[in-house]
Amino acid sequence: MRRVLVEGVWPEIDAGAYPVKRILGDDFTAAADLIADGHDLLAGALLYRHEQDDAWREVRLTAAGNDRWQASFALDRLGLWRYAIEGWVDHAATWLRVLRIKSDAGEQSAADLPIELVVGSRLCAAAASRAAVASPSDAVRLRDAARDMARAELPVRERVALALEPGLAQILSRWPDRARAARYPRELAVSVDRPRAQYSTWYELFPRSCGAAGQHGTFRDAEARLPHVADMGFDVLYLPPIHPIGRTFRKGKNNTLDPGPDDVGSPWAIGAAEGGHTAVHPQLGTLADFRHFVAAAAALGVEVALDIAFQASPDHPWVTEHPAWFKHRPDGTIQYAENPPKKYQDIYPIDFESSDWRALWDELLSVFTYWIDQGVKIFRVDNPHTKSLHFWGWCIGEIKARHPDVIFLAEAFTAPKRMYALAKLGFSQSYTYFTWRESAWDLETYMRELTTPPVVEFFRPNFWPNTPDILPDHLVDRGRGAFAARLVLAATLTASYGMYGPAFELMDNRLRPGSGEYLDNEKYELKQWDVGRAGSLRPLIRRINRIRRANPALHADRLLRFHRSENPSILCYSKRTEDRSNVILTAVNLDSSRQGGFVHLDLAELGLTTDQPFRVRDLIGGGRYAWRGSRNYVELDPYSMPAHVFIIERT
């Protein structure tokens, strides 16, 4: 008896298995095809509710052409929202259309009008019954209409005029007969995060390297570095693990296996006699010191993110208290972690196939909740792709249900589908392959993938030009211009980006041969960074981050568009707000030498018309250029500045 088919619902990820992602304050739009037999008019509704609400709210669908319908609602609460789509035959609207056609036909259809008025009278009476409780005034109006249409003593044309009065159609549309409405068979979900899940600017800092020369730094020492980080415009300060570090198989400088007595080891070798994942390394300070550090950062507009690495040093309390949580070899020993050719003798991986998995999962969940209680709401999760995917779906779901403002960044340099699976399971952001993408074709192809459905609906990229684990060849070989170009690319291609701070800021490009990592890597030793040194990238970083903050076009990725360049060494792309009130056009020289060439702009995308003169103002250097039409010239020298970040100014 349900004549309507509801098909092609969008957005929908993997047949509704996973929620799509949005941020607080977004207007969420859903669309569907409503299809039925015959010529009757259709109507439909988008139903929605927050997961903590029992009652559904709804907004009517509007026709978008070719049987496509859509509607929107405001996402005004964090957490998970449910939505569904219903469609039905709109008998009242169909009747009104037929009545209007026959009335306009004059004498040709005059004999049919009395019958149509009887039909309309019955439709109005039925609608009045549906409206009676919720809207008595509508019910009265509908009953009056039903009575008047049935009054045979009134002239037919007078009754037709009453039926076609616009106000009646509006009232009828509010009380349709939905007894045979068809609902899409799946309830779908949208996960709503706070804005920082979409737009964020990260700086990675090792607190232990903030002390005086040769001294192990503390949280108090790191606190003194906070104004420097805030001044450059970063809003997230990411700390590697802050826990006690094991001594068994501790790594020495440059990842050697023969540490000296004063070697500090890798922060990712978590756990010692002083405690494990809920303990603070005693040389960094106390838990109270950490809380003070978090509060001091917040006062400067900077949020502290913690690294969560679910692995253990051989000295971790879990190894003796819960041996079943680790894989044992036939000789009874525990296998250390490996990612050939890399070996991590100082780390034991956790066994997610443990017979004691329930206790293990509960313990790992408690690590997050412990640090949430200390004021941390952002976590960078180390190698989540090497842990159970089902664990992440459960764990993140449990945390978000209690703390919907928590943000998770996946450090997942892995196969694309595995990265996407982690995002579907709840990770708010993810590291990406940007670090190794160099050519214009590579970057454009990758960004098109990330900003095209379905990926754009659930995956939020976070671009990092470097990490403590990764020093890419282009930063080793191409000098200052490469650092500047990668900074601009990371900061303008995506709404979230980060850097391994001091190393990038000071353009450290010393590679340990054969490793792909930094020479004298900070993962294994204390470093002294002269962040006040003349000639650093600090002024440019500050400038770029201020540009990002001032231009809402750079706060999202959906409206990224590429523009053709005649020179393959120049990448040209734009971002804009929905209403095109803020349009940013970026051109980057990807080569190590001066390059020039014409770029062909999609003027409609930029909100411009053919031959309309306009100005572009370079937000980095301050220059203004008068352009006209789609084909315009740029020239970029990496020795001075390898990029333009233009704002479009209409004349």
Residues classed as catalytic: 382, 411
Tell me the pairing of strands 27-35 and 68-74.
Answer: antiparallel
First CA to last CA across the chain, in angstroms?
Answer: 59
Handedness of CA 478, 483, 488, 493 (dihedral sign): positive
**Helix, strand or coil, per DSSP, at residue 291:** helix
Report d(CA 332, CA 327) in Å as an integer: 9
One-letter amino acid of 547: I
Helix axis angle for 166-174 and 136-150, nearest 10°, is 120
Q: DSSP string covering 409-442, please?
A: EEE--S-HHHHHHHHHTT-SEE--SGGG--SHHH
Residue 216: count of CB within 10 angstroms of its CB:
18
The 10 Å Cβ neighbour count of residue 459 is: 23
Instruction: Return all residues near 466 (Cβ < 8 A) that are at least 6 apart.
Output: 435, 472, 475, 499, 500, 503, 504
Residue 123 vs residues 119, 156, 163, 234, 332: alpha-carbon distances, Å: 6, 18, 11, 62, 80
Length of the chain: 651
Cα-based angle 363, 420, 349 (whole degrees, multiple of 5): 35
Q: Are the beta carbons of 172 and 127 closer than 8 angstroms?
A: yes
Interstrand relation of 62-65 and 182-183 (parallel, antiparallel or unpaired): unpaired
> What is the spatial distance between Cα 182 and Cα 180, in angstroms, rounded to a whole number?
6
Task: State the helix-helix crossing angle for 166-174 and 91-104, rounded to 10 degrees.
Answer: 160
Compute the C-alpha angle 4/6/7, nearest 5°: 135
| Contact of 538 with 519, CB cutoff 8 Å | no
